[in-house]
Structure 1
Amino acid sequence: MDNRFPWATILPFEGMVPQIHDTAFIAPGARIIGDVTIGPQASVWYNCLLRGDIHRIVVGARSNVQDGSVFHVEGPRPDTDGCPTIIGEDCVIGHMAVVHGCTLDDRAFVGMGAVAMDGCHIGSGAMLGAGALLSPGKAIPENEIWVGRPAKFLKRQSTEQADKIRFQTERYCALAQRHLDALNNRGPAQG
């Protein structure tokens, strides 16, 4: 049991214990279960669920999983070894996203309310737009933006848009520390 985050539910499952880096932030109401690894300066926000019960989940360094998001996996079946959920470094996962058995390369972005399903791959610097649905097995190439239900190619990522994602990552690292400080009563959170 991880005592650093008494406000969150962090549970082992069948001998698999969540591994949370010392510099990560887990917000109140978050639930981290089973084979889950949270990297340095990564953050899992209010009321998120990361359930690594039938495969593993990895959240890379400085990535943020925003409020209400759900991560799960696809377990092994007779025809496949299953699909873990692997999030690279510096990724942004918007509020209420569902990421199920997917791989996101470094600096990938999943917008608010988007759904990425089993076997999907979102390339480095690529974006799945808000509310989009990436159906099973689809891949978004590096630096492309896909939107809609089902998600389809919209355009290439601009340098300006990539910079905004980088800014979001940096902002969430700093914001996580402010929330942690406030929760630990080390000082007031300031705007």
Structure 2
Amino acid sequence: MGSLGSWESHLQLSRHLTLMNIFDKAPVVDKDAFVAPSASVVWYGCVLRGDVSSIRIGSGTNIQDNSLVHVAKSNLSGKVLPTMIGDIMLLSVSHSAVLHGCTVEDEAFVGMGAILLLDGVIVEKNAMVAVGALVRQNTRIPSGEVWAGNPAKFLRKLTDEEIAFISQSAANYTNLAQVHAAENSKSFDEIEFEKVLLRKKFARKDEEYDSMLDVVPDNVLPDKAEKALKK
């Protein structure tokens, strides 16, 4: 880092590896999918660990902040179990959920902090795992049901409105991911140029405001800054 000189404290682009090979195996990401910069191969702070078996995530599925998706190699049954999340329809895995060697079918919903642990769990289409639930090994959650608690048990049937919400919520996240993808694809020059425009918009702000934006006069791109300030 020392060789970067005055730029040392002004680096803007993440050096984090979103996709990492495991020996001769590499993650396969569809060209239309968005992998957040701070994710380890799907939204911010997520980890998908597919080193001892495979993980498959279907189209329209969103894995939210700080979730962990893992696979199973050693268990009582002796089976190596992949984790399968969705196929072709909208599905949401909420914040800080843990999925381990399980299958979650299309248009299902996994609540915040839920743990689909102890391999072999199946969450059927249009089923919901409630916030903070712990689902035991080899449990099957039938379509149209809400399961909650520790250990998770049948709570009630989903209403038609709740089933519709599952798909709508997933669609909202899919649209939001496209916005994040566009922002994260910007180059260093584009980021710096937008800072100049932002500084012009809030021209009455003081030097402290500039420093919060990390806009330092010596580091503004001269050619673009001059054009921007003339507008």
What TM-score does the superposition give when structure 2 sets the normalisation length?
Answer: 0.70
Aligned mates of 1:137, 1:96 — CA distance in 2: 21
Q: Which runs of 5+ in 1 are unaligned?
A: 33-43
Q: Which ranges in structure 2 are unaligned for 5 or more consecutive residues?
A: 1-13, 195-231
* Corresponding letter in the other structure for 1:175: L
Deviation at 1:76, TM superposition (A): 5.8
Write the letter of the residue equivalent to 1:111. Answer: G
What letter matches 2:79 in structure 1? D
Structure 2 counterpart of 1:83: 81
CA contact (8 A) 2:147 2:154 kept: yes
**TM-score (normalised: structure 1):** 0.85
Q: Which letter maps to 2:183?
A: A
Q: What pairs up with 1:18-37 in 2 under 5 angstroms? A: 18-32=27-41
The 3 A distance-change label for structure 1 pair 78 and 96 is: closer
Match of 1:121 in 2: 122
Match of 1:53, as an amino acid?
D
Comparing both structures, which one devotes a greater share of its residues to helix? Answer: 2
- Segments of 4+ in structure 1 off by > 6 A? none
Q: Which has the larger radius of gyration?
A: 2
Q: How does 1:133-148 map to 2 (within 5 A)?
A: 133-148=134-149
Q: Give 1:81 shift.
A: 3.0
SS in 1 for 2:53: strand
Aligned to 1:53: 51
Quote how far apart the aligned CAs of 1:182 are: 1.3
Which whole-Å CA distance do the structure 2 matches of 1:123 and 1:59 have between them?
A: 15
Q: Residue type matched to 2:85 in 1?
A: I
Instruction: Name the CA shift for 1:162/1:8 in 2 (closer, same or farther; >3 Å).
Output: farther
| 2:179 match: secondary structure | helix
Q: Please, what is the CA RMSD of the aligned residues?
A: 2.0
1:83-135 Cα offsets, whole Å, 9 max, x none, are: 11000131100000000000011111110000001110000010100100001
CA deviation profile, 1:143-179 (whole Å, cap 9, x unmatched): 1110111111011111100111111111011100001
For 1:48 and 1:8, locate their aligned partners in 2 and report how far apart those are by CA, in whole Å: 13
Equivalent residue runs for 1:152-171 within 5 Å: 152-171=153-172
In the other structure, the counterpart of 1:93 is 93
**Aligned residue-pair number:** 173
Residue in 1 that maps onto 2:7? none
CA separation of 1:116/1:6 partners in 2, compared to 1, >3 Å: closer, same or farther? same
Residue 66 (structure 1) aligns with: 64
Bigger mean CA deviation after superposition, 8-17 or 154-163:
8-17
| Structure-2 separation of matches of 1:91 and 1:174 | 13
Identity of aligned residues (%): 38
2:224 paired residue number? none
